[in-house]
Structure 1
Amino acid sequence: MNALLKGSIGLTMLASSTVLAAAEELSLAHFVAPSHVVTASVVEPLAEGVKADSNGDLTIQVYPGGELGAGPMEQYVRAVQGVADITWGLAGYTSSQFPKSMIVEMPGAVPEGVTGYDMLWNAFDIHLKSEFPGTHPLALWISEPNVFIMKDHDVRSPDDLKGLRIRVSGSVSGALVEALGATPVQMPAGEMYNALQTGLIDGIVTGSSAINDFKLDEVANSYTVGAPLGHIMFYLVMNQGRYDGLSAEHKAILDKHTGRTLSQKGEEGWNAAAERTMESVRADSGNTVIDLTEEEIVPFKEVADRVREKLIADMGAQDVLDAMVAKN
């Protein structure tokens, strides 16, 4: 074999090994079923986008349903520890870590015409970044407005909540539920069904998309819409070291499909799922759906405003809220 041919073969083998070495597979873990709204709204657009733009050299392997760890409250630390490269979770499950970020969950904090994801990214660099140690956030967004999901209790006024046990996702909704006269019970979403079915709780405060995601329509029968109950904040984060270790090309591809771009897909996906879900709930004659009138909303709003103003004042975080709504 002549030297020229040997050299050509050597270069070909080197090029092949370089391509193989450049290929990256990222793991993405979450704790819900593949049918959950997070799949179509966030996971699939991200995975499909990076794969297409990298010609298959950057891929994402998804581990749903707690395959890499079942505890929903440990999602953030799993990314930090590298159990998964990317994890999805709810800020409220570890509320003490995200006090400023969770301002977007407060009732009345999101002005009309402003999106939750824009509020979060508006304030991120200056005010919120420190709440995400060890990770590179890929998406930050909020759910559709929360509603009351009840079993055998109709809620038309705060008085209807007196003495009831209401499931909440975090400290913000917990403070509101307590101010409304009920007892907040914090638990992961996966436990809501059994808790409502067995009478451990009387109702739930969460976004209406959860009715379908967690089959709550099988155990709930009364729904109240229109009270200012805030929202739920979500994050999709990546291990910082894993992100830093990507090639410049792969970082650019990932950046293109994340940030506000992916956050918008998440928020719009949650809102669309909520709309479809409520149409189905209303179509079921076995359900009571209470659409509060403007007059009926007033006493809820009075309580909600007091809770929000106190939480902001106690945190000294008016500057954060101003940054979120781009008043600075």
Structure 2
Amino acid sequence: MTFPIRAALAVLLFAAPAMGPATPAAAETLRFAHFVAPTHTLTEAIVTPLTTGVAPSGLVIRTYPAGELGAGPAEQYVRAVQGVADIVWGLPGYTSSQFPLSMLTEYPGALPQGMSGADFLWNGHEAGLLAREYPATEPLALWTAEPAVLVTRDRAVRAPSDLAGLKIRVSGSVTSGVVQALGAIPVQMPAGDVYNALQTGLVDGVIIGSSGISDFRFDEVLGHVTLGIPLGNQAFYVVANAARVEALPEAERAALRAVSGRDLSRHAEAAWNARGAAAIGGLRARDGVVVDLTGAEIAAFEAVLLPLTEAAIAGLGAEAAIAAMRGAE
């Protein structure tokens, strides 16, 4: 044995005790990107249960709120696919053409009375109906907001004719069609821009779940909120990059999947519903703000809007799909 080799062995033998036992692999960290403030309902509904639920496995979920990984809610899905983020929250309505079946919930009357949007969407997902709508990702949560309401700046709305010519903010193509059917003008913009648009009169109103009234402080700039118009339920998704999930250590991957899915989605929907009910409750303390339609007034809106839903389902050839999503045998 030559001296250099003996010296090298001596160095290794001397150093070995100092190295100690092998250390475990560092915990994986997933980046969760969204575009709203940490005070938004999303934190309570999704971020906290998902983050705390996977923690015992060692998996870390780090959240990047308010567009920290890229501005623009319409680009959320692409961020997950491209790996800019590992998990994203988004709205199908911002890229409507990608999500025709997921957005069925947004049609007036499409979601059966008493059925949660979470169950409607997970029925579709588990039946394999939504696979084309979520390529290269794994859905972690699919749910809907509480029934949408009509927020207006200064006009109380009790009949379809009251909407004629008004500029109404919408989130996607389905709500845009609803607004046009009612004789109003749809204006698409991110929810974060609506406060200023309402305040300045750039729009006359907005169709949104009532939770959005408090989440985006619309209560500061609205004049009226009309309840009872069949305006559908806005859909949401939380998806993860599928390849990133598969690359996780088995225990961490299992932990992520265990705290995701239908139950997480139901939890999120319950949080949205609770926030929405609280927002309306707060507005009822202000005289004349909340407009509760009578049965006859609701029927007048249904006469305009329910045929729109029937035509859309037929146009999509989605009769069998919506039956499965509703849980029909």
Q: Report the TM-score when normalising by structure 2.
A: 0.93
The SS at the match of 1:236 is: strand
**What pairs up with 1:293-308 in 2 under 5 angstroms?**
293-308=294-309
User: Out of 265, 268, 272, which is 1:266 matched to?
Assistant: 268
Distance in 2, Cα, partners of 1:235 & 1:13: 43
1:176 to 2:181 alignment:
no
- 1:305 & 1:148 partners in 2: Cα distance? 17
Corresponding position: 1:20 with 2:20: no
TM superposition shift of 1:70: 1.1
Q: Which residue in the other structure is 1:226 paired with?
A: 228
Q: Does 1:192 align with 2:200?
A: no
1:265 Cα deviation after fit: 1.1
1:291 aligns with 2:276: no
SS at match of 1:13: coil
Name 2:136's counterpart in structure 1. 134
CA distance in 1, matches of 2:17, 2:189: 61
Whose Rg is larger?
2
Amino acid of the residue matched to residue 166 of structure 1?
Answer: I
Per the TM alignment, residue 112 of structure 1 is displaced from its structure 2 partner at its CA by 1.6
Query: Which is further off, 26-35 or 110-119?
Result: 110-119
What whole-Å deviation, never above 9, does each CA across 1:46-90 have from its counterpart, x for those lacking one? Answer: 101111x31xx1111000000001111100000001111000011
Match in the other structure for 1:143: 145
Aligned residues: 316
Letter in 1 for 2:89: W
1:33 is paired with a residue whose SS is coil
Structure 1 CA distance, aligned partners of 2:100 and 2:200?
A: 32
Q: Which amino acid aligns with 1:41?
A: A
Q: Which of 240, 245, 248 does residue 246 from structure 1 map onto?
A: 248
- In the alignment, the residues of structure 2 paired with residue 317 and residue 10 of structure 1 have an alpha-carbon distance, to the nearest angstrom, of 67
Match of 2:50 in 1: 46
User: Match of 2:118?
Assistant: 117
Pairwise CA RMSD of aligned residues? 1.7
Measured in 1, the distance between the counterparts of 2:128 and 2:84 equals 29
Question: Structure 2: how far apart are the matches of 1:162 and 1:274?
Answer: 27
Give the drift of 1:96: 0.5
Question: Distance between the aligned counterparts of 1:12 and 1:293, measured in 2?
Answer: 76
CA drift of 1:100 comes to 1.2
**1:322, 1:262 → 2: CA distance?**
23
Q: Point out where structure 2 has 5 or more consecutive residues left out of the alignment.
A: 1-12
Q: Does 1:316 align with 2:314?
A: no
Distance 1:322 1:290, change over 3 A: same
Q: 2 CA distance for matches of 1:97 and 1:224?
A: 30
Q: Distance in 2 between matches of 1:105 and 1:180?
A: 16
Separation (CA, whole Å) in 2 of partners of 1:28 and 1:10: 38
CA–CA separation in structure 1 for the residues paired with 2:272 and 2:17: 53
Amino acid at match of 2:301: F
Q: Match of 2:161, as an amino acid?
A: D
1:21-43 deviations in whole A, cap 9, x for unaligned? 4x111110100000000011111
Identity of aligned residues (%): 52
- The aligned amino acid for 2:245 is Y
1:44-123 alignment runs, 5 A limit? 44-51=48-55, 53-54=56-57, 57-123=58-124
SS of 2:257's partner is helix
- Quick one: distance in 1 between partners of 2:139 and 2:122? 10
Q: Say yes or no: does 1:29 pair with 2:42.
A: no
Q: Offset at 1:12?
A: 5.4
Distance in 2 of aligned mates of 1:113 and 1:274: 16
In 1: Cα distance, 2:19 partner to 2:117 partner: 51
Structure 1 letter corresponding to 2:246: D
The alignment partner of 2:194 has SS state of helix
Kindly tell me: are residues 61 and 305 of structure 1, through their superposed partners in 2, closer, same or farther at Cα, counting changes over 3 Å?
Answer: same
SS in 1 for 2:128: helix
1:161-172 alignment, distance < 5 Å: 161-172=163-174
Q: 1:12 to 1:210 in 2, by over 3 A?
A: same
- Distance in 2 (CA, whole Å) between partners of 1:137 and 1:10 is 46
Where 1:20 maps in the other structure, the secondary structure is coil
**CA displacement at 1:11 relative to structure 2:** 9.7
Deviations 1:88-130 (A, max 9, x none): 0111000000011111111101112211111111111421111
